[in-house]
Structure 1
Amino acid sequence: MSLFTLDKIGPWLTPLLLCAGAQAHSPYLKPNTFSAEEQRKQVTVEASFAEGDLRPDVAMKSDAFHVIGPDGRKLALTPAAALKEATYLEVPLGAGNGTYLVSSGVRKGRLAKGVLRDGKVHFAERAEDTQPDDKPIEVQSITRADVYVSRGRPSAADFDTDGVGIYPVTQPYDLYAGAPVIVRVRDSRQPLAGETVTVIADGQNYVSHKQAEQDFTTNAAGEVSFKPKTAGLYLLQVRVRRASADNPALWISTTATLTIEVQPQP
């Protein structure tokens, strides 16, 4: 599996990704359309990190960009343009009509120093912030960003994926304001219970009554359900932290996101 090291996008970003708050920089993919007409042969996807609204701030780089077509075939993607604040992908829709998964793939970041306190990972910037019972650990950051787009008539979106990801149980082309949206957090198709999914509404810089971020906890099936108040783009984010299977002093912190488009009620 091809992994990209985050030192190429700035050493300051890794600590932000490891922070608990969703207001840290989040990875995202944003296509120029979620529903392409049948005659359209490609879509353009913006890949970046943002804080709050989906405005590019730090370009996302990855050796693992790819698209999976409705035929289940995986195609590696090479960026068409790589700028300082955003990377742009031209994603071919050559598998015909149906739904495609565009992904950054699994991206490996730097190691960070942390402590284990009461079974949870903490990051102490100063020595005086530590407590006597803290256990020093190292934390490896992993990120993944996904988005689904359709060409012509959509198809079921259920693809095999590696690592932690957010899977849309409610099909991504069938999301409406005020209606339930169900997603499942899974690790290589296995559901993850007890994880927190944060829902972030885009475009809050332009509204007088802002939508606060919402947190939901996955059930035994790894699922959460929420009702988006308004049409627009939403970023769903989960952060999963686990001790390494072969090294208890090394923890893996995986941040996965899914960008969705919510339509107005018909």
Structure 2
Amino acid sequence: MSRSILFTLAVTLAFPATSFAHKVWLLPSQTVLSGAEPWVTVDAAVSNDLFYFNHFPLQLDGLTITAPDGTDAQAQNQSVGRYRSVFDLPLEQEGTYRVAVLNEGLFASYQKDGETRRWRGSPKAFAAEIPGDAEDLHVTEYLGRVETFVTNGPPTKTALKPTGKGIELIPVTHPNDLYAGETGTFRVLVEGKPAAGLEVEVVRGGTRYRDTQGETHLTTDENGEFSMTWPEPGMYWLETSSTDDKTTLPQAGSRRLSYAATLEVLPQ
């Protein structure tokens, strides 16, 4: 993948999305299963329309899958195409899996020879690749998390425990127990602590065939919680983000965190 696309992806993951901006997502073939050795297939992409492959694939370098017992599970048959990445996941244990792609590092913009240049990479690469005479240098640390949840049999909570890193969604209502007409409640954490005042956007899939996005805007309360009453069944995408100066890397002047999740709402 070209450097320009990698930079675009970093910005997409790190900065707040708008209703008409590119959206980053994981889409499982289904989220609630039962039976002997079920599998799911997961698509991963950055797109203009929710859950349609029309921009470029989400790279799987940061793919992390937590099994119901808290151990790491392995994806199979990974493939990266022109518009999407894809992988299979055998659900060998009963319970809930957490499937996430983490993207972190630095991105920078600077002036060199009268031109604006952009860069994205690791702290180690920063020292080697950013010229010493770069002018008007701006460096931002970023951490983006994109995830979804899949349950085989009865839902469990072990895989849903927070890691204390970046923005995380901690379900009060289990993410694989969502039904149309009912209300789901979630808690948002930043670095393991409840985050009050964060704006959350929720959009139902199928935007390609609607005149409006039909998004819902919510705000986390003092406990970092928000609630959503699901109007109808379908796959939903939610997103939130935050900006602060709590950088962990000395090169960065600011830090941007982003989070996106795909949830399936079932009919009653």
Same fold judged by TM-score > 0.5?
yes
Amino acid at match of 1:54: F
Q: 1:107 to 1:78 in 2, by over 3 A?
A: farther
Pick aligned residue for 1:178 from 162, 178, 181 = 181
Q: CA deviation at 1:218?
A: 0.6
SS of the counterpart of 1:28?
strand
CA contact (8 A) 1:146 1:259 kept: yes
Amino acid at match of 1:102: V
Q: What residue is the counterpart of 1:45 in the other structure?
A: 42
Gaps of 5+ in 1: 114-134
Q: CA deviation at 1:62?
A: 3.4
Provide the C-alpha distance between the structure 2 equivalents of 1:154 and 1:253, rounded to a whole number of angstroms: 32
Q: What residue is the counterpart of 1:144 in the other structure?
A: 145
SS of the counterpart of 2:253?
strand
Q: What residue is the counterpart of 1:29 in the other structure?
A: 26
What whole-Å deviation, never above 9, does each CA across 1:57-111 have from its counterpart, x for those lacking one? 31111322121111111235466111121111212322x2111111113443633
Amino acid at match of 2:84: A
CA contact (8 A) 1:65 1:78 kept: no
Moved more, 185-194 or 102-111: 102-111
Q: CA deviation at 1:211?
A: 5.5
Provide the C-alpha distance between the structure 2 equivalents of 1:176 and 1:198, rounded to a whole number of angstroms: 19
Q: What residue is the counterpart of 2:3 in the other structure?
A: 7
Q: What residue is the counterpart of 1:110 in the other structure?
A: 107
Q: What residue is the counterpart of 2:155 in the other structure?
A: 154
Q: What residue is the counterpart of 1:196 in the other structure?
A: 199
Q: 1:105 to 1:11 in 2, by over 3 A?
A: closer
Moved more, 196-205 or 11-20: 11-20
What whole-Å deviation, never above 9, does each CA across 1:145-186 have from its counterpart, x for those lacking one? 110101122223632333212222211121111211111111
Amino acid at match of 1:241: T
SS of the counterpart of 1:105?
strand
SS of the counterpart of 1:80?
strand
Q: 1:242 to 1:234 in 2, by over 3 A?
A: same
CA contact (8 A) 2:49 2:208 kept: no
Q: CA deviation at 1:234?
A: 0.5
Amino acid at match of 2:98: L
SS of the counterpart of 2:37?
coil
RMSD, aligned α-carbons: 2.8
CA contact (8 A) 2:187 2:225 kept: yes
Provide the C-alpha distance between the structure 2 equivalents of 1:13 and 1:23, rounded to a whole number of angstroms: 16
Q: What residue is the counterpart of 2:81 in the other structure?
A: 83
Pick aligned residue for 2:240 from 213, 238, 241 = 238
What whole-Å deviation, never above 9, does each CA across 1:12-59 have from its counterpart, x for those lacking one? 444455355242212211111111222134311111112342112311
2:256 maps to 1:260: no
Provide the C-alpha distance between the structure 2 equivalents of 1:6 and 1:164, rounded to a whole number of angstroms: 28
SS of the counterpart of 1:11?
helix
Q: What residue is the counterpart of 2:114 in the other structure?
A: none
2:169 maps to 1:166: yes
Amino acid at match of 2:154: R
Provide the C-alpha distance between the structure 2 equivalents of 1:14 and 1:72, rounded to a whole number of angstroms: 28
Amino acid at match of 2:266: Q
Gaps of 5+ in 2: 111-135
Q: 1:25 to 1:204 in 2, by over 3 A?
A: closer
Amino acid at match of 1:68: T
Provide the C-alpha distance between the structure 2 equivalents of 1:39 and 1:55, rounded to a whole number of angstroms: 30
Q: What residue is the counterpart of 1:117 in the other structure?
A: none
Q: 1:108 to 1:84 in 2, by over 3 A?
A: farther
Tell me the percent identity.
Answer: 26
Q: 1:188 to 1:30 in 2, by over 3 A?
A: same
